[in-house]
Amino acid sequence: MNTATLRTITRLRHEQRAHIRSMVEAAWTDWCADWRMGPAEAQVEHLVPVPAPAETPPWQPLGTHAGEPAWICGHHQLIAAVIGGPDRSPSPVEQRVRDEAMTSFIDCCCKLLGLAPASDSVPHQAAAPRLLQFGDLRIGLTLPSRQHVPPAEIWLPQQAALALLPGGELPCPSTSLPQPGLVTVDRALAERPLQLRIMLSPVQLSLGAVNELQVGDVIRLDHPLDAPALAALAAGRGKAMAPLASAHLGQLGKQVAVRLDALPAADQLPAPAL
């Protein structure tokens, strides 16, 4: 089974569920009309993707779609409740009428649900539960005016359910699954912390001079007082730093601060200190 398709059936949209529901209810309505039972009174009470329930009703073949069987159970009681009442044992004639009514209902279901009539090759009851798979639809049909009658159940293979959808096409998983929106690179990196280092112009001394430095010595920098400092991205100890902007030194209360200048073009910035 295709996993993407399985996800699709479990994520049927409301209108898609409503469409399948209307097909099942229409099958009942058609059957009622064929048997002159008056206004339809059945409705779909649930339409859920399996996992399989704990109990295993006595399923019987309903029809097939692309070789996969659909199943039905509990329709006997539903039909009996309508045409003869379930509480008393039917006469042979009544039983024959009920059998024909059930066959007729199955025909209506197959017609509305796009199923081929079940053949003798479709395995019966015992095989049914093993064929039920996660992603199939379980549809319950009840009579609201007769609460004591348990619902009929239709087990529809997911492919058959999908074929019922408007257009008869499988929804494309890539468009039916929710996907996160794309974000730009700068937004993706927006929260990443950076260390901006403020530096004055480097000074060049001989190693001999550096080695003779003493506390109290004053090193004159080749950096005018009114010249901006360099703001560079710190890339770690000993690594080249990417110059970013120039910035004038100042203070903000007791803290050293800088005022950023307009960002110059990359080729106008000083070379990184190496």
* 237 in contact with another protein (CB under 8 A): yes
With CB under 8 A as the contact rule, which of the stretches 6-14, 30-38, 78-86, 245-253 interacts with another protein? Answer: 245-253
Which of 166, 206, 266, 268 lies at the binding interface for another protein (CB under 8 A)?
A: 206
Q: 94 by DSSP, 3-state: which?
A: helix
Which of 168, 186, 266, 268 lies at the binding interface for another protein (CB under 8 A)?
A: 186
* 208 in contact with another protein (CB under 8 A): yes
Burial of 41 (0-12, 13-18, 19+ CB in 10 A): middle
Residues written for the chain: 274
With CB under 8 A as the contact rule, which of the stretches 11-19, 126-134, 172-180, 226-234 interacts with another protein? Answer: 226-234
Task: Specify the pairing of strand 137-142 against strand 43-49.
Answer: antiparallel
Beta strands in 55-136 (DSSP E): 60-65, 68-73, 116-117
Which x/- pattern, by CB under 8 A, does the window 138-177 give for another protein? ----------------------------------------
* 223 in contact with another protein (CB under 8 A): yes
* 218 in contact with another protein (CB under 8 A): yes
b/e code 92-113 from CB counts within 10 Å (16+ = b): eeeeebbeebbeebbbbbbbbb
Minimum separation from the CB atom of position 262 to another protein (A):
4
CA–CA–CA angle 193, 199, 201 (5° rounding): 150
Minimum separation from the CB atom of position 267 to another protein (A):
19
Question: How many residues bind to another protein according to rule CB under 8 A?
Answer: 62
Minimum separation from the CB atom of position 205 to another protein (A):
6
Nearer to another protein, 178 or 216 (CB): 216
With CB under 8 A as the contact rule, which of the stretches 29-37, 126-134, 152-160, 212-220 interacts with another protein? Answer: 212-220
d(CA 66, CA 209): 90
Closest CA to 158 of 173, 188, 138, 177: 138
Which of 167, 178, 180, 224 lies at the binding interface for another protein (CB under 8 A)?
A: 224
Which x/- pattern, by CB under 8 A, does the window 11-50 give for another protein? ----------------------------------------
Q: What are the distances in angstroms from CA 183 to CA 18, 85, 186, 192, 205?
A: 35, 63, 8, 15, 49
* 268 in contact with another protein (CB under 8 A): no
With CB under 8 A as the contact rule, which of the stretches 79-87, 105-113, 134-142, 193-201 interacts with another protein? Answer: 193-201
Closest CA to 221 of 206, 241, 201: 201
b/e code 243-272 from CB counts within 10 Å (16+ = b): bbbbbeeeeeeeeeebeeeeeeeeeebeee
